[in-house]
Amino acid sequence: MQQHMHTQSFTKEQKVGFLLLFVFAIFAVGLGALQIRNTIYAPFAFDDTPESPLANVVSTEEQQTLRLKSIDTDNDGLYDYDEIYLYETSPYIEDTDSDGISDAREIETSTDPLCPKDKKCDRQDPVTSPTSDQTVTQDPTQQRLQGFLGNNTVMVPKEQQASADQQVFEKLINDPTYLRNILIETGEVSYDKLSEISDEDLVASVKEAMQQQVQKEQSSGIEEAQGTPLDVLEKTLF
């Protein structure tokens, strides 16, 4: 009787069957968990297939970059991409600083293509305040604008500064080539989009945007628009 109640051991076939059943159970649970995870994260996954709008945007940007790296609009020997993002020169003007020497030649001779040969320009990437040891890095587009202003302004008494700023403003706002250059550098307008706009329409659009900026400041409770015309232009572009 005691021998009959003794627990019998599993056969080899039974052990193999239990083992396979255990493996299949783990496999099924794993697949279920993976399916649940995919269901949760699928709406947030980045779709980079050719049909995806995001992929189209990335592709367009890459094509634009490749295009800029392969064309030389002003035929000065420098690709447009290098002029815009490396040397900060104009891709539309062979001689950006108008000193009679092409941008490519000035770069070859290690001279500044943004500074006329008869002028002394103190251009530097990190701008250090003369009253502080702290170094402040400016936005490249603002440096570009300030570099232009620095090459076209003169030292005048404070009471005459508004008149001098007005003269510089008139020169800048009526220079469509320079406006195109700094607008491209802001990254808000593409090269192709600007190419579709005539010089007259570009100047008119910038002037209209500036007028809206002035009206916005006046409507916000400020009796007078803050700053000179140059200040308003910087607010409009940046």
Whole-angstrom distance, CA of residue 212 vs CA of residue 111: 40
The total of other beta-carbon atoms located within 10 Å of residue 92's CB is 18
Domain spans in the chain, listed from the N-terminal domain onward: 49-123, 138-238
pTM of the model: 0.32
Whole-angstrom distance, CA of residue 50 vs CA of residue 205: 35
Token duo for residue 70: 């392969």
Whole-angstrom distance, CA of residue 118 vs CA of residue 148: 15
What tens-digit pLDDT sequence spans the chain (238 residues)? 444 555 567 788 888 888 888 888 888 888 888 888 888 876 666 555 555 554 555 567 778 888 888 899 988 889 888 898 888 899 898 888 888 898 888 888 888 888 888 788 876 543 333 443 444 444 454 555 454 444 444 444 445 555 555 666 666 667 777 777 777 776 666 777 777 878 888 778 777 777 776 677 667 655 444 455 545 555 555 4
pLDDT of residue 224: 46
Whole-angstrom distance, CA of residue 83 vs CA of residue 140: 13
Token duo for residue 24: 């299949």
Residue 198 is classified by DSSP as: -
